[in-house]
């Protein structure tokens, strides 16, 4: 039984009111959410009375699996409870889905009310872009013809006379932005009204933003002066000079604070003040406060005396509004017309984007016709349908989604879970302020107070204690309501709940890489080399990680335990992968290669194009010469010659040669699948082709099995999604593929260097994952500020920021609105930057390291030390806001730790000593040694000369040229010397209905490779679902598993022996050189490299037991023994050589027969 924490217990059992659960990283929120539903059902609720909403299909599937498994366990424990049995049986009817799926379902059920067709489809990105371009052209064309003054001015402002692309992009971006608002056009209208010269609310709002920013700068400067003054002691020979300087400048700051509401008064104070020079110190003396005082005075000069707030000219602002208001009104009308025209085109296509579907759903439950929106009668009816509405990842909702859930709730049954610190999807228009507003307006949970309540889950069950301590140390200093969105207080602290063996060294490392690369070198590759050195040092240095399956509780760290994360992956990941490969480090990296350019998908597409149109010579040629049909270039040339002088397509030539065995096989294939293509969906057709051609196995034969399999499954999923919205057949599907080929929008699966490989990925891709050792690389890269330099800026509360055009000088300048909106966008961007850093750090289970490349590491440390020297243990929000990179935040906070402070000549004041170890070093990358060219020609070495002479005299035995230098052990039991490929199983079409022979066998082997034997023996279904959640098994592979055969195995004596073994190796790669005479029955002393992978080798009584799992359909065990004896003999010999122990037993376990047979070798 799970031991829930008190906070988790409250989140599970609290009822009667709206609840918000703020769940920190690794706090078990998914387990809590699923347990809450299960407990309510156990108390009499029905699964149909819940709406459970997640943000991804994978999360929805995991949630359903968790609830289903828990209900099944409860039902089994209470066999007499009919209610539990009924609810367990009905779990598949529960509404557990994504927001998009919920909205789509709501819209389909009420299509008549909305005036649309029920069988609409969802637009893919390329199709949506086509309609967007068409709609925009339809809206703009008459305006280009009319050329009104407002339209002409708008074009000049946003683009220029010759190129209107920037203007058109602005219209589309503004449309996308308003579509996540609760009432899109009303929101845009309200933002445009701010530019009305008769309306004072616009300038007031924008002035307030700049004033608030100025106030933050004043407060930071005052705090710094006060801290420096308190630290200045009379025995400092600069005491008098510095004291007078500080007093004078502090006085100005306090006057500015007092007059903050009067812009004119503040401007007068600054204009009548001049900064004096710093008093000169005696020769050779440096005051302890000098660096800090210099830093704060520089800040005052740049950000107080020359602040944007002081540059405000209200008269100019009103003139700018007069100039811009007609343009803003014109922009509103264009977006309004574009929205209507785009919707009209989508209705014609009967296809919509998810944002349209969400707006349709919202219009069903909300009435926006009045001054304030109201719930509709349908919304009230819908709110009675649900006992509770549970929404996960609420920090990533937008206004439209938030209002939708508010409308369908009854006012006290909304249960939302999220963590604003992990909201990193601003580019998808997520609005974390919605979660923060709810968090701040709710009360701490009290079971006796039926008010909207908040519960904090802050016990972390993922990370080692030092990771949690460092997380708290770092983010308590930089998070604030201004930066990050909330104060990082005790409610947000991570409290370690996971148990780990004591660490032998510091779990937190910072590496500052000195940028001493020459112009010809690349600093990214330089840093990659430093990271490679670091990983190899940990591998070779005997570092261990926790492993509960090991008797010692730990095991040596492996490459697969490392994940290297990046803010941006494009270009950077490729360079790291290159350097890692040069250092012999296996890599599993995000692959930027488009899905349709991968070898396996290109061939599968050629197969489909051949089935669709056999006269497509390019497709037919690639299929004929593939491993499926095995035509050679000579075969194709022979066909052409026999076809005569008349030019004919390949298909016509093949029809004339139908008697040829290869040709007949190809034509039979075409005939079969052309008939099948008109009877089944595209996804079913693809699956059938893959099964009949052993496609996955064929592609995997060239290596990277997992990568090929995932790419093919991704292609099947794409076809399944297409089938969902379109039933026009194979030709239509191929046209659909052609449309998205140009965009390269669909990416392939990660390039996989095997399970024991260093993962390279972006922080965004890592969200939801965890790794023993996380390395955050490239932290010195500057934050992306591109969104704040556009000609139109958009912010949910500040509105639209537009530049003005000086028509006489023909140049643009920033307006009051533009500066204010830009300031708010910069603040929001910085908040997301620190949240990305939080997500990166909290992926780590046991160790975390950050790398940064700086030109002058020592100088950077001194500069940061000066800025924080006399801080109170926190980094001021204003200072955080000005940090341009992760490295700035990491180094400023690290200086509050002795490990980093020791690297400074003037270390900052440490208010307290942190309770964790940190390893901070300045390093230089050590490039791989290059072979230097010889300066001259040396005399030949006699020994080498003799060897070369002997080798050049060697005469090759031509009879061996047909023998492969490397063979797989699985080939040893074939007829000697015959290189034809024989199938060991029935083809899939001969299997029993619902079974897929080869794919089913593959699924069984994958399960046995990845499963936890103990967990599978205890709860097979639970272990299957875990592997599916972790993407080790696809949904199709889960379906193909023979669960009864697996249960029989785990109940067998063989499984019991394996579980009792002190050492069990799975998927063990075995290599051995075997004489040609043994492998091929040829008289030769040459040797062949034979390789194979043994499914399982375990130790027992000082010897080895070798187990191989077989899925062949056989009637007797003797058939397996006869067929696999030579393969097992090789495994036995190779295992004894490789592990230095005798193999006492060789067992072939048949899943078909459900028992293992011992082979005598």
Indicate the average pLDDT of the chain.
Answer: 87
Token pair, residue 455, equals 């519960």
Mean pLDDT computed over 838-858: 96
Mean pLDDT computed over 1095-1121: 88
CATH architecture observed for domain 496-590+755-784+830-923: 3-Layer(aba) Sandwich (3.40)
pLDDT confidence tier of residue 990, bands split at 50, 70 and 90: very low
Nearest to 468 by CA among 437, 440, 500, 441: 500
- At residue 989, the pLDDT reads 40
Residue 162 reports pLDDT greater than 70: no
Instruction: Write the pLDDT tens digit of every residue in 423-471.
Output: 999 999 999 999 999 999 999 999 999 899 999 999 999 999 999 999 9
Residue 480 reports pLDDT greater than 70: yes
Mean pLDDT computed over 377-406: 96
Strand partners, 258: none
Mean pLDDT computed over 1080-1097: 75
Token pair, residue 1107, equals 């187990």
- The number of beta carbons lying within 10 Å of the beta carbon of residue 248 is 12
Range among 564-568, 805-809, 903-907 rated most confident: 564-568
- At residue 931, the pLDDT reads 38
- The number of beta carbons lying within 10 Å of the beta carbon of residue 170 is 23
Residue 276 reports pLDDT greater than 70: yes
Q: Helix crossing, 314-349 with 816-841: angle to 10°?
A: 60
- At residue 961, the pLDDT reads 46
- At residue 970, the pLDDT reads 63
- At residue 967, the pLDDT reads 67
Q: What is the DSSP string of 275-325?
A: PPPPPPPPTT---TTHHHHHHHHHHIIIIITT-GGGG--HHHHHHHHHHHH
- At residue 725, the pLDDT reads 56
pLDDT confidence tier of residue 718, bands split at 50, 70 and 90: confident
777 is in an annotated binding site: no
Domain ranges of the chain: 6-120+353-457, 122-199+322-352, 202-314, 496-590+755-784+830-923, 595-741, 965-1159
pLDDT confidence tier of residue 482, bands split at 50, 70 and 90: very high
Angle (nearest 5°) at CA 915 between 912 and 919: 105
Instruction: Write the pLDDT tens digit of every residue in 14-41.
Output: 999 999 999 999 999 999 999 999 999 9
pLDDT confidence tier of residue 521, bands split at 50, 70 and 90: low
For residues 1069 and 383, what is the distance between their CA atoms, to the nearest angstrom?
A: 59
What one-character DSSP code corresponds to residue 594?
Answer: B
Of 1079 and 305, more confident: 305
Q: Which CATH class is domain 595-741?
A: mainly alpha
Would the CA dihedral through 587, 588, 589, 593 be positive or negative? positive
pTM recorded for the entire structure: 0.72
Nearest to 431 by CA among 53, 184, 187, 177: 177
Nearest to 156 by CA among 816, 812, 813: 812
Q: Report the length, in residues, of the chain.
A: 1161
- At residue 176, the pLDDT reads 96
Supply the CATH classification number for the domain 122-199+322-352: 1.10.274.50
- At residue 700, the pLDDT reads 65
Q: What is the DSSP string of 15-80?
A: -SS-EEEEE-TTS-HHHHHHHHHHHHHHTT--GGGEEEEESSHHHHHHHHHHHHHHHHHHHHH-TT
Phi, psi for 1144 (deg, rounded to 5): -90, -15
pLDDT confidence tier of residue 1073, bands split at 50, 70 and 90: confident
520 is in an annotated binding site: no
Strand partners, 594: 747
652 is in an annotated binding site: no
**Number of C-alpha atoms within 13 angstroms, CB side, residue 483?**
23
Mean pLDDT computed over 186-200: 94
CA–CA distance from 680 to each of 122, 729, 1036 (Å)? 21, 8, 18
Would the CA dihedral through 619, 624, 625, 626 be positive or negative? positive
- Enclosing H/E stretch for 771: strand 771-776
pLDDT confidence tier of residue 953, bands split at 50, 70 and 90: low
For residues 145 and 1134, what is the distance between their CA atoms, to the nearest angstrom?
A: 81
Residue 971 reports pLDDT greater than 80: no
Q: What is the DSSP string of 462-524?
A: SS-HHHHHHHHHHHHHH-BTTTBSS---TTT--EE----PPPSS-SEEEEEEE----TTS-HH
Residue 963 reports pLDDT greater than 90: no
Across 316-330, 861-875, 943-957, least confident range: 943-957
- At residue 694, the pLDDT reads 84
pLDDT confidence tier of residue 230, bands split at 50, 70 and 90: confident
- At residue 926, the pLDDT reads 65
Rg value, the chain, Cα = 35
Nearest to 438 by CA among 384, 395, 375, 379: 395
Of 1129 and 493, more confident: 493
Angle (nearest 5°) at CA 515 between 514 and 521: 135
What lies within 8 Å, CB to CB, of 282 at 6+ separation is 237
Mean pLDDT computed over 1025-1034: 85
Residue 934 reports pLDDT greater than 60: no
Instruction: Write the pLDDT tens digit of every residue in 780-805.
Output: 999 998 899 898 999 999 999 999 98
Asked if CATH classification 3.90.320.10 holds for the domain at 965-1159, the reply, yes or no, is: yes
pLDDT confidence tier of residue 142, bands split at 50, 70 and 90: very high
Same fold, 6-120+353-457 and 496-590+755-784+830-923: yes
- At residue 979, the pLDDT reads 35
251 is in an annotated binding site: no
Instruction: Write the pLDDT tens digit of every residue in 1135-1156.
Output: 888 888 899 999 999 998 888 8
28 is in an annotated binding site: yes
- At residue 1050, the pLDDT reads 93
24 is in an annotated binding site: yes
Instruction: Write the pLDDT tens digit of every residue in 536-591.
Output: 999 998 899 999 888 888 999 999 999 999 998 888 998 999 899 889 899 988 65
Instruction: Select from 3.40.1180.10, 3.40.50.300, 3.40.630.10, 3.40.50.2300 the CATH code of 6-120+353-457.
Output: 3.40.50.300
Residue 995 reports pLDDT greater than 70: no
Q: Is 21 left (phi over 0), alpha (psi -120 to 50) or beta?
A: beta
pLDDT confidence tier of residue 811, bands split at 50, 70 and 90: confident
Of 1092 and 943, more confident: 1092
Nearest to 1150 by CA among 1042, 1034, 1011: 1042
Give strand ranges (E) for 933-1028: 966-968
For residues 221 and 293, what is the distance between their CA atoms, to the nearest angstrom?
A: 10
Across 823-827, 1035-1039, 1096-1100, least confident range: 1035-1039
């Amino acid at each position: 039984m799970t031991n829930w924490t008190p906070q988790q217990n409250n989140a599970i059992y609290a009822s009667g009111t709206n609840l918000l659960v703020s769940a920190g990283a690794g706090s078990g929120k998914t387990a809590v959410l699923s347990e809450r539903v299960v407990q309510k059902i156990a108390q009499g609720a029905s699964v149909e009375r819940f709406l459970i909403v997640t943000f991804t299909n994978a999360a929805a599937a995991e949630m359903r699996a968790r609830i289903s498994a828990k209900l099944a366990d409860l039902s089994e424990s209470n066999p007499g409870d009919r209610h539990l049995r009924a609810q367990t049986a009905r779990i598949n009817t529960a509404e557990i889905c994504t927001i998009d799926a919920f909205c789509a379902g709501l819209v389909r059920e009420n299509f008549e009310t909305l005036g649309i067709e029920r069988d609409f489809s969802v637009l893919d990105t390329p199709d949506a872009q086509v309609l967007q371009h068409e709609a925009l052209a339809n809206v703009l064309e008459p305006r280009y013809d009319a050329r009104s003054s407002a339209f002409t001015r708008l074009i000049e402002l946003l683009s220029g006379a010759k190129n209107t692309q920037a203007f058109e992009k602005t219209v589309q971006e503004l449309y996308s932005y308003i579509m996540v608002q609760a009432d899109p056009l009303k929101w845009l209208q309200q933002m445009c009204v701010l530019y009305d010269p008769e309306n004072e609310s616009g300038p007031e709002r924008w002035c307030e933003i700049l004033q608030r920013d100025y106030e933050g700068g004043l407060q930071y400067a005052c705090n710094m002066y006060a801290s420096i003054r308190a630290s200045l002691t009379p025995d400092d020979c600069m005491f008098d000079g510095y004291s007078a300087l500080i007093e004078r400048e502090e006085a100005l700051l306090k006057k500015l604070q007092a007059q903050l509401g009067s812009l004119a008064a503040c401007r007068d104070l600054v204009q009548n003040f001049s900064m004096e020079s710093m008093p000169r110190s005696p020769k050779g003396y440096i005051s302890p406060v000098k660096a800090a005082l210099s830093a704060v005075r520089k800040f005052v000069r740049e950000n107080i005396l020359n602040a944007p707030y002081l540059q405000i000219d209200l008269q100019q602002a009103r003139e700018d509004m007069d100039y811009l208001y007609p343009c803003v009104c014109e922009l509103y009308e264009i977006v309004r017309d574009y929205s209507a025209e785009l919707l009209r085109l989508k209705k014609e296509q009967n296809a919509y984007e998810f944002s349209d579907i969400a707006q349709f759903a919202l219009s069903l439950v909300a009435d926006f016709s009045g001054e304030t929106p109201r719930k509709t009668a349908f919304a009230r009816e819908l709110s009675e349908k649900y006992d509770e509405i549970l929404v996960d990842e609420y920090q990533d909702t937008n206004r439209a989604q938030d209002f939708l859930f508010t409308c369908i709730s009854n006012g006290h049954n909304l249960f939302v879970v999220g963590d604003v610190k992990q909201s990193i999807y601003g580019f998808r228009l997520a609005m974390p302020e919605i979660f923060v507003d709810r968090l701040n307006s709710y009360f701490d949970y009290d079971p006796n107070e039926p008010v909207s309540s908040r519960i904090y889950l802050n016990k972390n069950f993922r990370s080692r204690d030092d990771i949690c301590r460092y997380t708290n140390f770092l983010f308590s200093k930089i998070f604030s309501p201004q930066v990050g969105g909330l104060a990082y207080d005790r409610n947000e602290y991570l409290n370690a709940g996971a148990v780990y063996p004591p660490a032998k060294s510091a779990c937190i490392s910072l590496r500052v890489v000195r940028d001493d690369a020459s112009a010809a070198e690349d600093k990214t590759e330089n840093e990659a080399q430093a990271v490679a050195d670091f990983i190899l040092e940990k591998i070779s240095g005997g570092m261990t990680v926790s492993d509960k399956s090991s008797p010692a509780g730990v095991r040596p760290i492996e490459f697969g335990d490392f994940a290297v994360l990046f803010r941006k992956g494009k270009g950077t990941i490729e360079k790291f992968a290159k350097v890692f490969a040069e250092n012999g480090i296996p890599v599993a990296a995000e692959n930027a290669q488009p899905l349709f350019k991968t070898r396996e998908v290109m061939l599968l597409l050629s197969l489909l194009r051949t089935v669709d149109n056999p006269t497509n010579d390019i497709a037919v040629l690639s299929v004929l010469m593939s491993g499926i049909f095995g035509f050679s270039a000579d075969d194709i040339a022979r066909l052409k010659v026999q076809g005569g002088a008349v030019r004919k397509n390949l298909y016509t030539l093949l029809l004339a040669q139908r008697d040829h065995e290869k040709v007949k096989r190809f034509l039979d294939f075409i005939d079969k699948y052309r008939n099948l293509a008109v009877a089944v969906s595209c996804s079913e057709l693809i699956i059938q082709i893959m099964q009949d051609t052993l496609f996955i196995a064929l592609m995997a034969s060239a290596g990277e099995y997992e990568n090929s399999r995932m790419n093919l499954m991704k292609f099947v999923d794409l076809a399944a999604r297409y089938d969902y919205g379109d039933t026009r057949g194979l030709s239509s599907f191929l046209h659909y593929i052609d449309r998205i080929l140009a965009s390269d929008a669909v990416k392939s699966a990660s390039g996989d260097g095997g399970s024991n490989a260093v993962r390279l990925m972006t922080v965004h891709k890592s969200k939801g994952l965890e790794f023993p050792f996380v390395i955050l690389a490239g932290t010195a890269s500057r934050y992306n500020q591109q969104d704040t330099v556009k000609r139109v800026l958009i912010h949910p509360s500040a509105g639209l920021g537009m530049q003005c055009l000086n028509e006489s000088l023909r140049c643009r300048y920033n307006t009051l609105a533009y500066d204010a909106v830009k300031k708010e966008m910069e603040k929001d961007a910085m908040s997301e930057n620190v949240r990305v850093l939080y997500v990166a750090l909290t992926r780590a289970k046991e160790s975390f390291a950050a790398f940064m490349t700086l030109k002058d590491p020592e100088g950077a440390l001194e500069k940061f030390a000066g800025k924080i020297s006399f801080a109170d243990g926190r980094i001021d929000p204003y200072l955080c806001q000005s940090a341009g990179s992760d490295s700035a935040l990491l180094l400023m906070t690290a200086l509050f730790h002795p490990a980093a402070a020791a690297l400074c000549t003037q270390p900052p004041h440490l208010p307290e000593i942190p309770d964790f170890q940190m390893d901070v070093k300045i390093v230089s990358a050590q490039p791989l040694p290059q072979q230097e060219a010889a300066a001259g020609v040396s005399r030949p070495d006699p020994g080498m000369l003799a060897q070369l002479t002997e080798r050049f005299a060697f005469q090759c035995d031509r009879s061996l040229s047909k023998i492969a230098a490397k063979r797989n052990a699985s080939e040893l039991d074939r007829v000697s010397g015959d290189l034809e490929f024989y199938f060991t199983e029935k083809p899939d079409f001969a299997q029993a209905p619902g079974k897929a022979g080869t794919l089913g066998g593959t699924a069984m082997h994958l399960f046995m490779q990845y499963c936890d034997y103990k967990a599978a023996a205890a709860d097979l279904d639970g272990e299957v679902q875990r592997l599916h959640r972790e993407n080790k098994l696809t949904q199709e592979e889960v379906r193909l598993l023979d669960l009864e055969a697996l249960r029989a195995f785990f109940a067998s004596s063989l499984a019991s022996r394996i579980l009792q073994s002190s050492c069990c190796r799975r998927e063990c790669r075995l290599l051995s050189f075997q004489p040609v005479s043994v492998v091929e029955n040829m008289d030769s002393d040459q040797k062949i490299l034979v390789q194979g992978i043994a499914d399982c080798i375990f130790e027992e009584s000082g010897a080895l037991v070798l187990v191989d799992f077989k899925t062949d359909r056989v009637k007797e065990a003797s058939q397996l023994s006869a067929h696999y004896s030579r393969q097992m003999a090789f495994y036995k010999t190779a295992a004894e050589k490789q592990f230095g122990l005798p193999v006492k037993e060789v067992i072939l376990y048949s899943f078909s027969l459900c028992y293992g047979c011992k082979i005598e070798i």
